[in-house]
Structure 1
Amino acid sequence: MEKTAERETVRSSQRTRLMVMAAVFAALACVATMVIKVPSPTGGYMNLGDTVVLLGGYLLGPAWGALAGSIGPALADVLLGSAIYAPATLVIKAVMAVLAAACWQAFGRGRGPLGLAACGVVGELPMVLGYWLYDGMLMGSLTGAAAGIPSNLVQAAFGIAASTLLAAALGRSAYVRREFPRL
């Protein structure tokens, strides 16, 4: 009976830790999306949010990474006056984190920075495709919405590069390896 209670306490503690870390990553993703904004020619902006979305997926896993990676950037959309994008961002960034994290867990571990970069590409594809389709729906033209693809590709490339470098650096830390065994 004692061992069962002890195991439940450990599980509850791990769940609480993941919940807190997801909240921290959501806040980081929101700030990273809001603070450094590079205007794109199509009226949107490029930002550092994808870096945190991918990193959160790698460190927290698919479920918690999706929560953190979607809530933060969607909140940033609302706070920046682009609330019309918040529903799309919520879904797109969640899918990004799930795919990148699942890819990392299934194929990337032990492959170092190349594995991280490859999983980042898998995670970023729905971002480029998702915003193109969403913009197409808003504009009534997929052809017109295609103008946003180049800036989304640049944002994706930066998110992949930055998250790969950060994850590789963090993976060298004994603390991170102990606390985030997914990395």
Structure 2
Amino acid sequence: MEKTAEQETAKTFQRTRMVVMAAAFAALACVATMVVKVPSPTGGYMNLGDTVVLLGGYLLGPAWGALAGSIGPALADVLLGSPIYAPATLVIKAGMAALAAACHQAFGKGRGPLGLAACGIMGELPMVVGYWLYDALLLGSAAGAAAGIPSNLVQAAFGIAASTLLAAALGRSAYVRREFPRL
């Protein structure tokens, strides 16, 4: 009976730890999205949020990474005065983090920076395509919405590069390897 109580306590501790980590990554993603904003020609902006979304996916895994990676940037949309993008951001960033994390778990783990970068590319695809489709819905024109693709590609490239470098550096830490075995 005692072992069952210990197992329950460990399970509760792990779940609480993941909730706290997801909340921390959501807050980081919100701040990273809001702090550095480079205006794009289409009226949107490029930001550092993708770096945190991808990194959160790698460290927390697909489910918790998707939760953290979607809430933070969607909250940033609301706080920055673009609430019309919040629903799309919730779906797009969740897909982005989940896909990058699943790719990393299946193919990228142990493959170093090139594996991380390849998984980052897979994760950024839903961002570029998703915002293009959402903008097409808002504008009523797929061709007109295509004007935002280049700035989304620049943001994706930066997010991939920065998250790859950060994950590779963090992966060298014994503490990170112990606490975040997904990396």
Please give the TM-score of this superposition, normalised by the length of structure 2: 0.99
Report the Cα distance in structure 2 between the residues aligned to 1:116 and 1:11, rounded to whole angstroms.
29
Residue 7 of structure 1, CA deviation: 1.0
What amino acid sits opposite 2:103 in the alignment? C
SS, match of residue 46 in structure 2: strand
Aligned residue number for residue 151 of structure 2? 151
Find out whether 1:3 has 2:3 as its counterpart.
yes
What amino acid sits opposite 2:86 in the alignment? A
Residue 104 of structure 1, CA deviation: 0.3
Residue 76 of structure 1, CA deviation: 0.1
Aligned residue number for residue 135 of structure 1? 135
Q: How many residues align?
A: 183
Residue 39 of structure 1, CA deviation: 0.6
What amino acid sits opposite 1:116 in the alignment? L
Alignment of structure 1 residues 54-73 onto 2, 5 Å: 54-73=54-73
Find out whether 1:117 has 2:146 as its counterpart.
no
Aligned residue number for residue 108 of structure 1? 108
Aligned residue number for residue 41 of structure 1? 41
Residue 2 of structure 1, CA deviation: 1.1
Residue 5 of structure 1, CA deviation: 1.1
SS, match of residue 127 in structure 1: helix
Report the Cα distance in structure 2 between the residues aligned to 1:146 and 1:177, rounded to whole angstroms.
41
Report the Cα distance in structure 2 between the residues aligned to 1:16 and 1:174, rounded to whole angstroms.
22
Report the Cα distance in structure 1 between the residues aligned to 2:30 and 2:110, rounded to whole angstroms.
30
SS, match of residue 181 in structure 2: coil
Report the Cα distance in structure 2 between the residues aligned to 1:154 and 1:129, rounded to whole angstroms.
14
What amino acid sits opposite 1:87 in the alignment? P
Report the Cα distance in structure 1 between the residues aligned to 2:5 and 2:129, rounded to whole angstroms.
47
What amino acid sits opposite 1:45 in the alignment? Y
Report the Cα distance in structure 2 between the residues aligned to 1:3 and 1:57, rounded to whole angstroms.
32
Report the Cα distance in structure 2 between the residues aligned to 1:18 and 1:107, rounded to whole angstroms.
23
Report the Cα distance in structure 2 between the residues aligned to 1:178 and 1:10, rounded to whole angstroms.
16
C-alpha distance after superposition, 1:5-33 (max 9, x if no partner): 11111111011001000000000000000
* Percent of paired sites with the same residue: 88
Report the Cα distance in structure 2 between the residues aligned to 1:102 and 1:136, rounded to whole angstroms.
28
SS, match of residue 12 in structure 2: helix
SS, match of residue 113 in structure 1: helix
Aligned residue number for residue 74 of structure 1? 74
Please list every run of 5 or more consecutive structure 2 residues that lacks an aligned counterpart in the other structure.
none
SS, match of residue 182 in structure 1: coil
Aligned residue number for residue 176 of structure 2? 176
SS, match of residue 34 in structure 1: helix
